[in-house]
Chain A
Amino acid sequence: MANDTPLLELRDISKSFGSVQALVDVDFEVRPGEVMALVGDNGAGKSTLIKCIAGTHMADGGRILFEGHDVSIHGPKDAARLGIEVVYQDLALCDNLDVVQNMFLGREVNKLQVLNEAAMEEKTSSTLSTLAVTTIRSVRQTVATLSGGQRQSVAVARAVMWNSKVVILDEPTAALGVAQTEQVLALVRRLGEQGLGVVIISHNLHDVFETADRITVLRLGRNVGVYERRTTSQQAVVEAITAGRPIKVSGIPAEAPV
């Protein structure tokens, strides 16, 4: 079960693009071993929020706490150093490279620039098997030959391989069929079981209710509710998405507002 000290905590995050207030005093948190869903209508500010975490954007105001300490994230490298990895919707895999090569892209194991293929292949295989990704026949096949779900699995596996503590997935199942979606959601649940903090953005409430422990709803750049999946109905979440009122910004209530 999820630990109660948040792994990642955002307080009063604001961000505007010119006159557009994309985020207004947003609170957000994810605990270790927890899958936190982030939902909201188009333009609600979901992608902007995770970009503030990933270091692609800088928040205008607010605090970011990692494992209880204030941190400042100025770029993707800062986020990676903290152990925050993002799986973008367009997967950022190289089709012409094989699974191993993609997993280690940009962080190849080498000695004096000479690649150590054996070490990379071994680590890839073991990472995939800890995540119970069993449908990939060979880690030496090119990514172009993989199905959408398998590709998504590789992208997720790459994110968790670097001892990451928080994995953020932006709409990981948007392009997938039923069976493949199931595969990826199972993988997301396993990440949580292994003690990582997982943030999943999705428009598909069915997926959200299948994977998430808690659900944060954004509406027009504001946090309008944090729900325990166990005690909430999809109906309540839909209402929050479409008509939710901003909740108290200084703290996240454990129970859903009505």
Chain B
Amino acid sequence: MTTADVVGPGAAPPPVEEELATGLAGVWQRAWLNLRTGNLGPLPIIVGEVVVVILFGFTATNFFTAVNFVNLITQTAGTAMLAFGVVFVLLLGEIDLSIGYVAGIGALIVAELQLPGSGHQVPGILAMVIAVAACAGIGLLQGSIIAFVGVPSFVVTLGGFLIWQGLILNVLEQRGTIIIQDRWINYTDSYLFSHAAGYLIAAIFTSLYPLSILYKTLVARGTTIAQQNWAAVGAKAAGIAVAAFGTVAICNHGRVISQLQGLPLAGVIVVLFFVLLTFLAKWTTFGRHVYAVGGNAEAARRAGISVPRIRVLVFMISGATAGIGGIIFAAQVNSVALTFPPGNLLLNAIASAVIGGVSLFGGRGEVRGALLGALLIGTLQNGLNTLSISNGWIYIVTGGVLLFAVTLDTFVVRLQKRSGR
């Protein structure tokens, strides 16, 4: 029993706050503070992307063309879709190894359902809806085993990896390649918007961020909450506008044998889900609970959050996004064959999220990380391809970048700990 006779000193003086100025000076001050404390956000990956683009721009003759740019978008789209799901799973501190073959199941279902003369042919759009729902159902199944039975996600989804792969093998070994003829399904990869429509989409996308800020400001009206830093908001809005309109402008510039190119639907699908899933993660109670469960599941449980429900829903999201990605990949080659899923799809998707700054330990990361990571990996692989570098080297470089990104992130976390943030 302690009977300490030390008299506590009065309340400790509050630590001196570095008051941040408002306006432009505040932006620089905050940027410097963030830099010093290692709170870099998406900066390293954007810098990396720019470096890679410049590097390939000088070395690969066919890289810096508008046509290749459109290709890059469609090639990256599928991986980015899977990576979105990976973000949610990683936010929980879980893993989903099955997504590569769940994507395959999605592709197989659309291919089978659109098959003319098969007796069960349905319109392409309906086929896609059914396929994505089925993939979400796979997520529901796997997620339930994880959440209610308590089997680790690594094991459950490893089982899924083998089972769904086996199912695809069984069907396709018997049937051979299934050709996809349905226009709507193939559009998910190959449809190009008219130039005007492309700019309209860019305008809509650009307006979302200012609108969200406007909404926040209106909600905070009459409260004592600190105002937005308008200089920072302006800079970010301008950056988004440049990226959106720049993308469309380059796409519109492309020309394949006198046929004008345009913004590909695949890219628009990805951006649409980026917006939807960012909203889900950051603006809704569900998203908040995902972060909470990933940060401290016991705390979330005590706070009255149904942890199993969150887990199941997240694996359903992961299944659904894999299904959508699978359809885009199938549309790319207008078929489903035994070679599906292409390349290292699962690992590329996980690497995208991780390179994009999503922590493997749960609770930390953003949806945009998946997009930025997929873009970086896609650019690297596309650039190395146009340089006709062997697949072996492409894997080695991708692995190197992944290792570098995670090392940087680990380093940053340690830096943050040391600076007490």
CB-defined contacts of A117 to chain B, threshold 8 Å: 216, 219
Residue A93 lies at the interface, judged by CB distance under 8 Å to chain B = yes
Q: Decide: B11 and A94 in contact? CB cutoff 8 A.
A: no
Residue B329 lies at the interface, judged by CB distance under 8 Å to chain A = no
Residue B302 lies at the interface, judged by CB distance under 8 Å to chain A = yes
A77 CA to B363 CA, complexed, in Å: 26
CB-defined contacts of A178 to chain B, threshold 8 Å: 6, 8-9
Q: Decide: B363 and A114 in contact? CB cutoff 8 A.
A: no
Q: How far is the CB of B100 from chain A (nearest CB, A)?
A: 28
Given the contacts A94-B299, A97-B291, A114 and B9 also touching, CB distance less than 8 Å: no
Q: Which of B79-106 contact A (CB under 8 A)?
A: none
Contact string against B for A residues 94-119, beta-carbon threshold 8 Å, 1 for contact and 0 otherwise: 11110001000111101001111111
Q: Decide: A113 and B285 in contact? CB cutoff 8 A.
A: yes
A141 CA to B20 CA, complexed, in Å: 14
Q: How far is the CB of A120 from chain B (nearest CB, A)?
A: 10
Contact string against A for B residues 279-302, beta-carbon threshold 8 Å, 1 for contact and 0 otherwise: 000011110110110111011101
Closest to B284 in A: A113
Interface size class of B (residues with CB under 8 A): 35 or more
Residue B396 lies at the interface, judged by CB distance under 8 Å to chain A = no
Given the contacts A125-B224, A238-B1, A108 and B302 also touching, CB distance less than 8 Å: no
Q: Decide: A116 and B299 in contact? CB cutoff 8 A.
A: no
Q: Which of B1-51 contact A (CB under 8 A)?
A: 1-6, 8-12, 14-15, 17
CB-defined contacts of A121 to chain B, threshold 8 Å: 223, 225
A179 CA to B286 CA, complexed, in Å: 38
Q: Which of A108-151 contact B (CB under 8 A)?
A: 108, 110, 113-119, 121-122, 125, 134-135, 137, 141-142, 144-145
Q: Decide: B225 and A118 in contact? CB cutoff 8 A.
A: yes
Residue A206 lies at the interface, judged by CB distance under 8 Å to chain B = yes
Given the contacts A238-B1, A238-B3, A122 and B223 also touching, CB distance less than 8 Å: yes
A7-15, A181-189, A248-256 - the one binding chain B: A181-189
Partner of B285, one of A96, A108, A141: A108
Q: Decide: B364 and A96 in contact? CB cutoff 8 A.
A: yes
A101 CA to B10 CA, complexed, in Å: 30
Residue A203 lies at the interface, judged by CB distance under 8 Å to chain B = yes
Partner of B1, one of A95, A119, A241: A241
Q: How far is the CB of B211 from chain A (nearest CB, A)?
A: 14
CB-defined contacts of B363 to chain A, threshold 8 Å: 94-97
Residue B175 lies at the interface, judged by CB distance under 8 Å to chain A = no
Q: Decide: A122 and B224 in contact? CB cutoff 8 A.
A: yes
Residue A1 lies at the interface, judged by CB distance under 8 Å to chain B = no
CB-defined contacts of B17 to chain A, threshold 8 Å: 137
Q: How far is the CB of A134 from chain B (nearest CB, A)?
A: 6
CB-defined contacts of B289 to chain A, threshold 8 Å: 106
CB-defined contacts of A95 to chain B, threshold 8 Å: 295-296, 363
Partner of B3, one of A105, A114, A180, A234: A234
Q: Decide: B300 and A206 in contact? CB cutoff 8 A.
A: no
Closest to B306 in A: A106
Partner of B11, one of A93, A118, A119, A182: A182
Closest to A149 in B: B12
Residue B305 lies at the interface, judged by CB distance under 8 Å to chain A = yes
Contact string against A for B residues 88-129, beta-carbon threshold 8 Å, 1 for contact and 0 otherwise: 000000000000000000000000000000000000000000
Residue A92 lies at the interface, judged by CB distance under 8 Å to chain B = yes
Q: Decide: B302 and A92 in contact? CB cutoff 8 A.
A: yes
Given the contacts A118-B220, A118-B225, A121-B225, A97 and B295 also touching, CB distance less than 8 Å: yes
Residue A205 lies at the interface, judged by CB distance under 8 Å to chain B = yes
Q: Which of A15-51 contact B (CB under 8 A)?
A: 41
Partner of A182, one of B9, B224, B225, B362: B9
CB-defined contacts of A182 to chain B, threshold 8 Å: 8-12
Q: Decide: B223 and A93 in contact? CB cutoff 8 A.
A: no
A184 CA to B299 CA, complexed, in Å: 21
Q: How far is the CB of B343 from chain A (nearest CB, A)?
A: 33
Q: Which 8 A-B pairs have the closest CB atoms?
A: A106-B303, A182-B8, A94-B295, A96-B363, A96-B295, A118-B220, A106-B304, A92-B299
**Further 4 A-B residue pairs, CB within 8 A, beyond A180-B12, A206-B6:** A90-B298, A106-B300, A113-B285, A134-B14
List, sorted by A's number, 6 A–B pairs whose CB atoms are closer than 8 Å: A96-B294, A97-B295, A105-B288, A105-B305, A116-B219, A135-B14
Chain A residues proximal to chain B, CB less than 8 Å: 41, 76-77, 88, 90-97, 101, 105-108, 110, 113-119, 121-122, 125, 134-135, 137, 141-142, 144-145, 178-183, 185-186, 203-206, 210, 234, 238, 241-242
